[in-house]
Amino acid sequence: MTTTFETFAAIVEAFGCRCTTVLLHHEDDAERLFSSDHTFVSPTGRKRFADAPAMAQMKAQQAPQKFEGLAQIKPMFKEWEKLAETGYLCLVNLPIFDEHGTLQGQANLALHEGALDGSDLDELNKEAQKLAPLLSAARAAL
């Protein structure tokens, strides 16, 4: 079942998510395809994995990543000061795989610290997988 970026953003908002972004992975960088809050994160742009430790870690491990609290966020996100100012100190990166199990990209969530437990993370990861056809379509359009 496919979902839209907007539907996914509405679903994760129920968990207290402040901003959702969706990225399409390329060899050396990731391209932002969607941002639910343009005042927080631009809806477009690219970021190199070499400049984004959290993205690189998620890509390497191909598993959901959760960074909670300033001690975990500071070494992983160059924009940690902006994140600290907002109070959204729970950042989640969810891998998105195609039907063959190949990593296509990721969904990123910004929430308040303590907003998620283990079962929430599992549920959000399942929802993120519904974005796979959208990432495949974006890749095909390149």
Instruction: Please state whether the predicted TM-score (pTM) of the whole model is above 0.85.
Output: yes
| Domain range enclosing 44 | 5-140
Q: How many helices (H) and strands (E) does the chain have?
A: 6, 6
Give the pLDDT of residue 2. 60
Give the pLDDT of residue 65. 96
Give the pLDDT of residue 13. 87
List the beta strands (DSSP E) in the chain.
19-25, 29-35, 46-48, 65-68, 90-97, 103-111
Residue pLDDT, tens place only, 74-84: 999 999 998 89
In the predicted model, residues of the chain with pLDDT beneath 50 are: none
3 state SS of 57: helix
- Number of domains, the chain: 1
As given in the structure block, the two tokens for residue 127 are 């929802």
Q: What is the CATH number of the domain that holds 122?
A: 3.30.450.40
> How far apart are the C-alpha atoms of 60 and 83, rounded to whole Å?
24
